[in-house]
Amino acid sequence: MEQRNKTLGEFIIEHQAAFQYSTGELSKLINAIRLAAKVVNHEVNKAGLIDILGAAGDTNIQGEDQQKLDVLANEKFIQTLKNREIVCGIASEEEDDFISINSHDELHQNKYVVLIDPLDGSSNIDVNVSVGTIFSIYRRITPIGTPVTLQDFLQPGVNQVAAGYVVYGTSTMLVYTTGHGVHGFTLNPAIGTFYLSHPNMEFPEKGNIYSINEGNYVHFPQGVKDYIKYCQMEEEDRPYTSRYIGSLVSDFHRNMIKGGIYIYPKSSKASNGKLRLLYECNPMAFLAEQANGRASNGYQRIMEIQPTELHERVPFFCGSRKMVEKAESFMARYPDT
């Protein structure tokens, strides 16, 4: 088992050789995300003391009201990644279009693009509920030395080289994978250092928690309604417990530790669901699969979906493998819904 007093920096250096593109750039990129996360964590923790609660007065590309902390987190992550000169492009859930980045020394020489949801669940900030950051990293597919294009960002999730999230809760944790398992690091706020606290994280094969906004039950597809009824039945190890925080990062994190399924389906109100394929579903799917879990849109593996636009939405079923498979079996009864 990994030494639990190991810092994130030490862990990255020790495991760098296991990464097939071991040039040090990915390690620097993870470190940049770590730095930005510490800055955002500081702002989240003092949210009630300064004027960063509430709506910013603008809407993002999805037509959603931006919270003040959405804007702040977006600026901090973009600024940090730009300043480190280690990525050639950034796409953010809060930006209309992707950002192409030049290196000061050489034009477009960096190899990686980052897609990020800077502050997932930010509407919960005002009521002091956990929120998070989600990130996804790809190698560019257009030639090095040229500006990045939309093609570099519209890659299926199977092409991810790293993904992770930061959860800002009772403790702040950074959880990530580079395709060699999932590891969690907890921030020691006294010295500002992340320490390995959850090595080799895995979903229990089956859990007893289902996470879905049941207030939208009447709008759900029949397969989802049938699965919810299955979860509530008095039989064998059921009924399951319903737990829904409303922050994807928090719901996912709890279910990975305790065992459970998270569902955000399409509905009569949202024909493609609400979650974004590139900023939320792909990175969480990569983490889930690396942690012995499963992720799909109810019919198809999330990471095999070919994106067609930056802010594409998809239904999302994610969590303990047997629970997701059972939910998919209910969806399969209604292939046209």
What is the DSSP track for 165-183?
A: EEEESSSEEEEEESSS--E
Of 115, 167, 120, nearest to 137 by C-alpha is 115
Q: Is 230 annotated in some ligand binding site? A: no
- Please tell me whether 213 is known to bind a ligand: yes
- Give the SS3 label for residue 316: strand
Q: Is 126 annotated as a binding residue?
A: no
Mode of pairing for the β-strands spanning 112-120 and 89-92? parallel
The strand pairing partners of 172, in sequence order, are 168
Alpha carbons 330 and 51: distance in angstroms, whole number? 47
**What contacts 24+ positions apart, CB below 8 Å, involve 251-254?**
251/211, 252/165, 252/284, 252/287, 252/288, 252/318, 252/319, 253/132, 253/165, 253/167, 253/173, 253/175, 254/209, 254/211
Q: Consult the annotation and say whether 6 binds a ligand.
A: no
DSSP 198: E
329 is an annotated ligand-binding site residue: no
On whether the CB atoms of residues 203 and 259 are closer than 8 A, the answer is: yes
93 is in an annotated binding site: yes
Contact between 212 and 230 (Cβ < 8 Å): no
Check the annotation: does 117 bind a ligand.
yes
Q: Is the peptide bond before 283 cis (omega within 30 degrees of 0)?
A: no
What angle separates helix 222-232 from helix 321-331, to the nearest 10 degrees? 130
Tokens 């921030």 belong to which residue?
A: 187
In the chain, which ranges are continuous DSSP H helix? 8-15, 25-45, 68-84, 150-153, 222-232, 248-258, 282-290, 321-331
* Residue 176 annotated as part of some ligand binding site: no
- 298 in a known ligand binding site: no
Phi, psi (rounded to 5 degrees) for 210: -120, 135
Residues at the binding site for substrate are: 120-123, 213, 244, 274
Residues at the binding site for Mg(2+) are: 93, 117, 119-120, 280
Residues at the binding site are: 93, 117, 119-123, 213, 244, 274, 280
